[in-house]
Structure formats: structure tokens, C-alpha cells
A = this chain, B = another copy of it.
Amino acid sequence: MTPSIGLVERLTREIVQTIRAENLQPGQTLPSAKVLAERFEVTVPTVREALRRLEATGSVELMHGSGTYVREAINRRILDNPHYVPVDLAAAIELLDARVAIEPGIAELAAQIQSAEAVASMESALDNALQVETAVPAGHFHVELARASGNRALHEMLVSLLAIHSRTQQAARTTYDRLRDHDEHADILDAIKRGDGFEAAHRTRKHLEAIKTVVLADWADDPQTDDAANKEAEQ
């Protein structure tokens, strides 16, 4: 039924199934390439090609001299393209538009769920943002908000959007006021804690639209050099 699928692809699936069968958790190591090669009766280069596939999707990480480690993304459905080359500001705006489209719904779900620990995570994220120069990953308020929705697909989508956004030039240039950001997050969280889904959604939308406005304003003040931007836009 699967007549002509390559050996590497089959091997990749077998490795994934092995990880799941042996219940290997993120952080744990896989057997060495040599051992895997013997177990699946292939050679080391073939195993390495399979591992490179898994590496590209963040399912594993190959660490020189140390070993091959299972990574979180093995449990993710939605990923960001690690080979995507970010370009223009229009793409950054597009990402913000996407967030405007989906995050209000996420906030509404979070308000309905009302998980205690999720609320705690969001409060924690609220504090962290004021102190550490927290990057995009975990601990980010919007990520915790998405986690609080209880829907892993939505959570993974938002993580992906933010990961892509962080690779954009505009990410660093955006100068959204730290305190204002904090206050608006607090307002959203407040609505969630009250279980007011409608208000949480509304505040989230306004918050993101405000960010978008700032980004656009920054752009107007100091338009970037968009050599590669035009080529991307016309396609």
C-alpha cells in the first residue's frame, strides 16, 4: 500500500514511533546513531538523514559530542517554518492582522475555561515582562493566554506566529510602551478572571490593534530599506 516511499522517510517514522513507544520525554537522549543504525538495519548516514529531518521540525536536536536529544516540538502539530526568510514590513503587519483575527477568540475561550494554574501563569508572565527583557518564547503573556485557552492547536499557532515575528526586523524596532503593554495585559487578564469572555475578547482586539498602529507609525517615521520587500510583494 506504501509502495515507493523512501527508506529515509520510513526510518524517520520508525524513530518517531520508537520515541513514543518508549515514552521518551523532551530532554532525554536518543540512542546513538550507530545503535539506531544497527537496530533498524541501515547505515549511519541513513540514520543521520532521518535525524536531520526530525531536527528541522524541532522534534530532536543533535548536539555535537553529546548526543541526540528529544525536543518539545515532537508533540506540536503546528510549526513555524525554520527555513523561512523573513523580509518586509508588510509581512510583519500581516502577522499582526492574523493575531487580531485569532487572539480575541482565544481570550474568549480562556475566559470560559478559567483554569487556576493558567491564570497564575498569566500573572507570572505579567510580572516577568516588567523586569526581564523576555524574548518571544515561554513566559510571554500572549503565549500563556493562548495556553489558557485549553486548546493546544491554538496555542501552537500563536507560538508559531510569535516565533516568525521575532525573526522580523520590525520585532526589535517596535517600541510599544512597556508600561502600557503591561496595563493592557492586566486589563485583559482582569476580564478573564471575571469570566467575561466578551470583554476579554474586545480588550485583546483593541490591544493588538494599538500595537499595530504603533508599528505602522514607527514605519512612517523611519521607513526601512525595503529592497527585498518589493520582490516579495509583487508575487
Contact = CB atoms under 8 A, between A and B. Distances in A.
Given A101-B102, A106-B101, A77 B78 contact: no
Interface stretch (A49-57, A123-131, A175-183): A49-57
A83 B153 CA distance: 15
Count class of interface residues, chain A: 35 or more
Interface string A193-227: 00000000000000000000000000000000000
Kindly name the residue among A64, A76, A109, A153 whose own CB sees the greatest number of chain B CB atoms within 10 A. A153
Nearest to A100: B105
How many monomers of this protein are in the complex?
Answer: 2
Given A8-B52, A49-B49, A151-B98, A57 B82 contact: yes
B57 A83 contact: yes
Given A101-B154, A161-B153, A55 B57 contact: no
30 contacts: A6-B62, A12-B56, A16-B83, A52-B56, A53-B55, A53-B56, A56-B56, A59-B81, A74-B83, A76-B84, A77-B80, A77-B81, A78-B78, A78-B80, A78-B81, A78-B157, A78-B161, A78-B164, A79-B79, A79-B81, A94-B151, A94-B152, A94-B153, A98-B151, A101-B106, A101-B149, A101-B151, A101-B154, A102-B105, A102-B154
